[in-house]
Copies of this chain bind each other. A is one copy, B any other.
Amino acid sequence: MGSFMGHILPGSFFLIAGLWWAGKYSLWYATRRNKSAGAGRLATRAMQRRMEILEGAVVLTFSLIGILAEQFVANGPHFQLYNQTAQQWEQLMIWQHSTMYLFFAMSGATTLTVHLTDTAPLALDRLILSIAFFSEGFLFYYHLHGREMLDVHVHTLLLYAIFAGALTALLEMFHRGNVLLELLRTTTCILQGSWFWQIGFVLYPPSGVKWDLTDHSNMMFITVCYCWHLACALITISVLYCTVCCVIRSKLRRMPPMEMGLLKPREREVESEDEVL
Q: Write the residues of chain A forming the contact surface with B, with a CB cutoff of 8 angstroms.
A: 29, 33, 88-89, 92, 95-96, 99, 102-103, 106, 119-121, 123-124, 127-128, 131, 135, 138-139, 142, 145-146, 173-175, 179-180, 184, 216-221, 223-224, 227-228, 230-231, 234, 241-242, 245
* A83 → B minimal CB distance (Å): 11
The answer on a CB contact under 8 Å between A231 and B124 is no
Copies in the complex: 4
Q: Is the interface of A mostly helix, strand, loop or mixed?
A: helix
- Chain B residues whose C-beta falls within 8 Å of the C-beta of A228 in the assembled complex: 99
A231 and B152 CA atoms in complex are apart in Å by 27
A224 and B90 CA atoms in complex are apart in Å by 13
Contact of A217 among B92, B102, B123, B173 (CB under 8 A): B92
- Chain B residues whose C-beta falls within 8 Å of the C-beta of A217 in the assembled complex: 88-89, 92
The answer on a CB contact under 8 Å between B242 and A119 is yes
- Chain B residues whose C-beta falls within 8 Å of the C-beta of A131 in the assembled complex: 230, 234
A92 and B224 CA atoms in complex are apart in Å by 8
* A273 → B minimal CB distance (Å): 14
Contact sample, A vs B, 17 pairs, CB 8 Å cutoff? A33-B119, A88-B217, A89-B218, A92-B217, A99-B228, A102-B231, A106-B234, A119-B242, A119-B245, A120-B241, A121-B180, A123-B180, A131-B230, A135-B230, A142-B220, A142-B223, A173-B180
A35 and B218 CA atoms in complex are apart in Å by 57
Q: Known contacts A103-B231, A138-B223, A142-B220; can you find 17 more A-B pairs with CB under 8 A?
A: A88-B217, A89-B220, A95-B221, A95-B224, A96-B223, A99-B227, A102-B231, A119-B241, A120-B241, A127-B180, A131-B234, A139-B224, A142-B223, A145-B219, A146-B216, A173-B180, A174-B175
* A183 → B minimal CB distance (Å): 8
* A1 → B minimal CB distance (Å): 13
* A102 → B minimal CB distance (Å): 6
Please name the residue on chain B nearest to A245 by beta carbon: B119
- Chain B residues whose C-beta falls within 8 Å of the C-beta of A245 in the assembled complex: 119
Contact of A184 among B88, B127, B220, B224 (CB under 8 A): B127
- Chain B residues whose C-beta falls within 8 Å of the C-beta of A128 in the assembled complex: 234
| Known A131-B234, A184-B127, A220-B89; contact A139-B174, beta-carbon cutoff 8 A | no
* A241 → B minimal CB distance (Å): 8
A127 and B237 CA atoms in complex are apart in Å by 14
Contact of A124 among B33, B124, B142, B180 (CB under 8 A): B180
